[in-house]
């Protein structure tokens, strides 16, 4: 078996897109951006939501016209050649060691709200999550696609319920209007943090061949999921600015209990928000594991990485590649647990890598797509550069990866050429 199965439809794809973006940050990132910029967090999310739409459109257009398991790496390779394309693919694989622990740490903030795990029990629970991801993916991404579409509907329902319960009374609005005008510097910091929420657009492009009709369904699925997520983040941030959240570690739990205190759901914030937060966090890690496995499989087919990973199981899943990705995640989770890492730093370093991936994919689109899409491409490039500026010194990790990986790809190409002679 040497072909990936094609089983995802438009609405399942939209569900995958939405839960991938909502993922670990849906009930966490709004409070982190408020801590960075206070009321300016709302402006940060508004700018992010509007600015990410051209990026989503360009990725959708690229994936629908050039469906490939390598995703952005393939787009960049078609535009600029093998060396740069393969470099992008490898740095995507190498961001998992910092992105996965960040995602797991964020997810387990909801777990701790439900079950106060201590010491090695935390580590054991995180490793069990990795095992569950393997079992969820072994029969193909379409299984989780259906579950994640239902999860998207549940998250939208809860956020809509909270927004309706807030009442938006004039006293709250007057209090909000009296807050100090946002300063651009904190807003930029908040945008640098919030960019994490839109990581996943590029991951969907790795799954293009898993769509039954990528030429018709990729673009609407990516666009619908992206716009929906932007609206949800704006709503959550607005709610946290409007209502008291108490001293709970997860502010959305306090907002839930405050707004629904008079209803039958009052007091169940930890359970409702906790379960949704855990599920959406796992959904994000799930899509990234599947995407990275397909990229590893693609690179194995092309001879960039060992042929060992080229094997597919009876469900069309690159099983050895999937195991390798999840095993590496488990190793890093263990190392992170014993060494300790700052969550904000892990997020910022991951964001820096994706800024480079997004920017080069957008530049590649300028060559691959019709010139009528050039305004979208230019807007997308400006956005990526702006986020890079906002991340400042946190871009060093990403730049270092490129500096190390690009010469390695050049050496490998020369070495293989000599072997063929």
* Residue 116 falls inside a structural domain: yes
- Strand positions, DSSP E, 80-181: none
Rounded (to 5) percent helix, strand, coil in the chain: 80, 0, 20
* Enclosing domain of residue 183: 10-420
* Residue 3 falls inside a structural domain: no
* Residue 2 falls inside a structural domain: no
Q: How is 379-391 classified by DSSP, letter by letter?
A: HHHHHHHHHHHHH
Cα separation, 2 vs 303, whole angstroms? 15
Number of compact structural domains in the chain: 1
In sequence order, the 6+-apart residues with CB closer than 8 A to the CB of 146 are 12, 15
* Residue 328 falls inside a structural domain: yes
| 232: number of Cβ within 10 Å | 25
Closest CA to 103 of 347, 391, 395: 347
Is the CB of residue 131 less than 8 Å from the CB of residue 329? Answer: no
Is the CB of residue 377 less than 8 Å from the CB of residue 366? Answer: yes
Is the CB of residue 56 less than 8 Å from the CB of residue 380? Answer: no
Cα separation, 336 vs 126, whole angstroms? 11
pLDDT (0 to 100) of residue 193: 84
pLDDT tens, position by position, for the chain (421 residues)?
A: 444 455 666 666 666 677 667 666 777 888 888 888 888 888 999 999 999 999 989 988 888 888 887 788 889 999 998 888 888 888 888 887 677 777 777 788 777 777 877 778 888 888 888 888 888 777 665 555 566 667 777 888 888 888 787 765 445 545 555 555 667 888 888 888 888 888 778 777 766 667 777 767 777 888 888 888 888 888 888 888 887 666 556 788 888 887 777 676 767 777 888 888 887 777 777 777 777 888 788 778 877 778 888 888 877 788 898 888 888 888 878 887 887 766 677 778 888 998 999 999 999 999 999 899 999 999 999 999 988 888 888 899 889 988 888 887 777 667 665 665 5
Distances, alpha carbon 381 to alpha carbons 190, 348, 362, 399, in Å: 19, 19, 6, 17
- Reported as type and span, the H/E element at residue 201 is helix 201-205
Length of the chain equals 421
Which residues share a beta bridge with 8? 211
Q: What CATH number corresponds to the domain at position 229?
A: 1.20.1740.10
Q: Count H helices and E strands in the chain, helices first.
A: 17, 0
* Residue 4 falls inside a structural domain: no
Q: Provide φ and ψ at 257, rounded to 5°.
A: -65, -35
pTM for the model:
0.75
């Amino acid at each position: 078996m040497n072909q990936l199965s094609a089983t995802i439809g438009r609405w399942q794809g939209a569900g995958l897109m939405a839960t991938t973006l909502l993922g670990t940050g849906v009930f966490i990132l709004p409070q982190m951006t408020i801590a960075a910029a206070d009321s300016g967090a709302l402006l940060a999310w508004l700018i992010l939501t509007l600015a990410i739409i051209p990026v989503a459109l360009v990725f959708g257009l690229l994936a629908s016209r050039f469906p490939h398991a390598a995703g952005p790496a393939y787009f960049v390779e078609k535009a600029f050649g093998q060396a740069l394309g393969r470099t992008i693919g490898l740095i995507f694989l190498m961001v998992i060691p910092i992105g996965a622990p960040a995602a797991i740490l964020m997810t387990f903030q909801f777990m701790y709200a439900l079950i106060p795990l201590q010491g090695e029990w935390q580590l054991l629970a995180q490793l069990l999550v990795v095992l569950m991801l393997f079992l969820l993916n072994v029969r193909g991404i379409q299984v989780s696609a259906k579950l994640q579409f239902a999860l998207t509907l549940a998250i939208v329902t809860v956020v809509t319920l909270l927004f309706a319960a807030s009442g938006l009374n004039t006293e709250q609005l007057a209090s909000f209007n009296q807050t100090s005008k946002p300063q651009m510097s904190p807003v930029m910091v908040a945008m640098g943090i919030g960019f994490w929420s839109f990581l996943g657009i590029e991951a969907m492009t790795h799954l293009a061949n898993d769509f039954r009709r990528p030429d018709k369904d990729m673009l609407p699925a990516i666009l619908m999921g992206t716009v929906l997520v932007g609206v949800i983040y704006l709503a959550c941030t607005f709610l946290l600015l409007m209502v008291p959240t108490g001293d709970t570690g997860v502010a959305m739990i306090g907002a839930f209990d405050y707004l629904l205190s008079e209803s039958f759901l009052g007091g169940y914030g930890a359970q409702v928000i906790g379960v949704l937060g855990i599920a959406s966090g796992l959904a994000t890690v799930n899509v990234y594991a599947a995407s990275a496995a397909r990229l590893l499989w693609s690179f194995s087919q092309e001879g960039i990485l060992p042929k060992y990973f080229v094997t597919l199981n009876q469900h069309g899943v690159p099983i050895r590649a999937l195991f390798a990705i999840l095993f590496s995640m488990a190793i890093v989770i263990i190392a992170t647990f014993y060494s300790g890492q700052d969550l904000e730093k892990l997020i910022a370093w991951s964001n820096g890598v994706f800024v480079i991936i997004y920017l080069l994919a957008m530049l590649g689109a300028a060559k691959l797509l019709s010139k009528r899409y050039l305004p979208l491409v230019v807007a997308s490039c400006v956005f990526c550069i702006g986020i890079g500026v906002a991340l400042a010194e946190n871009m060093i990790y990403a730049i270092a990866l490129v500096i190390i990986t690009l010469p390695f790809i050049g050496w490998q190409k020369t070495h293989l050429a000599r072997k063929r002679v």
